[in-house]
Structure 1
């Protein structure tokens, strides 16, 4: 089982990184998809398998919340998270939407496939 988890995490990281490299954003946001991905990659195992939230995941969520200074930053981060999560097989949206509260840094939005990040 551990071998599958390591392989699965590696596959998810590759998928998430490929999203960053193929998704252009021309906005006034100061945050980029690359930064969002870097901050939230440690959260992927929790989003798929559950268990204990990694400390690096909480640090990333707190860093992301600090970096979202404007409405455009929040829209960009929301879109990046939404598109990245959609590329991760078996992601549990309900689980990933609990991360902000679990880490003591609530997210200003919930991300689901149906979320309209432009609002």
Structure 2
């Protein structure tokens, strides 16, 4: 059973990396590749629950520190939204709990119908 879970997490990480490598929005300095690299450790919590890893929280802190403009926030929101949509079994409520569990905040909530162009 553990091998299946590890294999599923690896598959989800690969899918996320492949699907969120899109070009950044004009004016944004954050790329989807950066967002994916920072947040990949959070995927297992988003799918399976349990405990949010230290690596996930570190990624959240680094992403929050990387925001320089509203466009950066909007770009990150789009990257997270698009990536999450490709992950089988993702739980959006869990995704949105992660910043609080890490002791920080996120400037947006991610759901399938989130309009990232209006965040910030």
* Structure 2 unaligned regions, length at least 5: none
* Equivalent residue number for residue 7 of structure 1: 7
SS in 2 for 1:118: helix
TM-score after normalising by structure 2? 0.95
Partner deviation per Cα, 1:55-77 (whole Å, 9 max, x = no partner): 00000001101111210000000
The number of equivalent residue pairs is: 118
Q: Does 1:108 align with 2:107?
A: yes
CA distance in 1, matches of 2:20, 2:88: 17
Q: CA deviation digits over 1:2-47, x for unaligned, max 9?
A: 01111100110110111133x2234111111111000000000000
Distance 2:94 2:25 in 1: 30
Q: Structure 1 length normalisation: TM-score?
A: 0.96
Other-structure match for 2:48: 49
- What does residue 63 of structure 1 align with? 62
Deviation at 1:112, TM superposition (A): 0.3
> Alignment RMSD, CA only?
0.9
Q: Secondary structure at the match of 2:116?
A: coil
Q: What is the DSSP-based 3-state SS (H/G/I as helix, E as strand, rest coil) of the residue aligned with 2:117?
A: coil
Matched with 2:88 is 89
**Unpaired stretches in structure 1, ≥5 consecutive residues:** none
